[in-house]
Amino acid sequence: MRHIDVHKMADGASFNRFHAGILLWCAIIIICDGYDLAVAGIALPSIMQEMGVTAQDAGFMVSSALFGMMFGAIFLGTIADRIGRKLAIVICLALFSVFTAAAGFASDPYTFSIMRFLAGLGIGGVMPNVVAQMTEYSPRRIRSTMVTLMFSGYAVGGMLAALLGKGLIEAHGWQSVFLAAGVPVILIPFILKSMPESMPFLIRRNRLAELQATLVLLDPSYRVQKGDSYTLPDAERAEGTPIGKLFQDGRGLSTIMFWIAFFMCLFMVYALSSWLAKLMAGAGYSLGSALNFVLVLNFGAVIGAVGGGWLADRFHIKYVLIGMYALAAVSITLLGYKVSTPVLFLLVGLAGASTIGTQIVTYAYAGQFYPTAVRSTGIGWASGVGRSGAILAPIVIGTLVGMALPLQQNFLAIAIPAAIAALAVACIRHGRSASARPGLRSATLAEPTKA
């Protein structure tokens, strides 16, 4: 009888078509997710004009989606460890596609806010699940690169929203960019057919035929033999609630530090995503030019995410993150000062790389920190708690914009959280992470299968 360690097999596998397929599907989902999130900020000036709302009220409208994301990340991130990651991902995709499209039919800020809240459940819920999926199946030597490459689709979605937004809003009104968000529902049957389920979930449900088929694709050299057994390590079968496991084995302090880092980084991300176009328009740039800044912000995010992931696979991911947060503090502060247009575009790109890009690397670090059995839960709670920062950001910056403060003070308010996040990451106890404790990450699967 052979005892097959599925985690060790995934760690040591060579990149192949199976990995490329998971990367492609997760990236497509995140692109759709990024579009749905960015579209509100892109359309915000037009919505404010048509609905006649103030800057502060507009901040609450944008935050309705972020409030939904908080609940979605916690609930749909946690429930995925119970109902299966694939089903949770599909539920999230349906939520954010249908209700973002429905927001395009809204004629008042209240209906718009309700639709965006419901869409936010899916937008927030899908993030921890695709990160957990990519982390579980990626070869260990390129894991950070794979996760950040996949998650850079979030910035690609933001770029797509900026590119489509300019033409669609001018030709068909702000509603058109929301209606376009309903298209991804056609992907659901293909995702259900093509995407693999989480291996620990298959083991717990004793779905061994499906598990074996997945392992053959994961590592083509593997040959199924009668009597092969697949069970979970003791660390992944520990009793207690999923949230309680986040504080076990010395992970308590680090869990809190992850929550603080997520809060601060998401504050910066959504402050810039929601208000950059409006701040630049207020500084004298045209709507088209202001949308170009959003495009550059998201282009920088792709560079930051992929570059940060590459660095994290070659150096210590914790210290890579600290450096990226320090860059965010500097670049965002400088955005408030008068510089030449090329330098301003460079600063916006650096801000995107060190906020959106850094958030993606932070997701990758959280995915590597927690054991597989509570990975979705750990990422979901960090993301969910962090969403309170995302909720506050549009309201706080909207209030500052309404007070007509100098541009420097608006950007300084966005930059300060970067320094706090750097301190939080510095306090994470990396020695307690799953990736630093092989005994927890890839214990031998020793129980025989049921007769």
244-281: pLDDT as tens digits: 677 766 777 888 898 999 999 988 888 887 767 667 76
CA distance 238 to 443: 13
| Helices 153-172 & 341-369 angle (0-180, nearest 10) | 130
**Residue 194 vs residues 11, 190, 204: alpha-carbon distances, Å:** 21, 6, 21
Nearest to residue 100, comparing CAs of 35, 156, 50? Answer: 35
Per-domain residue ranges for the chain?
6-441
Rg (CA), the chain: 22
Q: What average pLDDT score do residues 62-89 get?
A: 80
424 pLDDT more than 60: yes
Q: What is the pLDDT of residue 430?
A: 65
Contacts of 22 (CB under 8 A, 6+ apart): 133, 134, 137, 195, 196
Pick the CATH number of 6-441 from 3.30.499.10, 3.40.50.300, 2.60.120.650, 1.20.1250.20: 1.20.1250.20
| CB contact burial 324-353 (16+ within 10 A = b; e otherwise) | bbebbbebbbbbbeeeeeeebbbbbbbbbb
Read off the pLDDT band of 240 (50, 70, 90). Answer: very low
What distance, in Å, lies between the first and last C-alpha atoms of the chain? 13
Q: What are phi and psi of 229, to 5 degrees?
A: -120, 145
234 pLDDT more than 80: no
169-228: pLDDT as tens digits: 777 777 778 888 888 889 999 998 888 888 888 887 888 888 888 888 888 887 877 776
Give Cα 359 distance to the centre of its chain: 7
Nearest to residue 6, comparing CAs of 141, 195, 200? Answer: 200
2-40: pLDDT as tens digits: 677 777 787 788 888 989 999 999 999 988 888 887 787
**Residue 97 vs residues 73, 94, 130, 178: alpha-carbon distances, Å:** 16, 5, 16, 9
CA atoms within 13 A on the CB side of 435: 22
3-class secondary-structure state, position 131: helix
Q: What is the pLDDT of residue 284?
A: 63
Query: Using the 8-state DSSP alphabet, how is residue 448 labeled?
Result: P
CA distance 154 to 301: 9
Residue spans of alpha helices (H) in 315-374 = 317-334, 341-369
Read off the pLDDT band of 233 (50, 70, 90). Answer: low
Residue predicted with more confidence, 406 or 110: 110
pTM of the model: 0.71
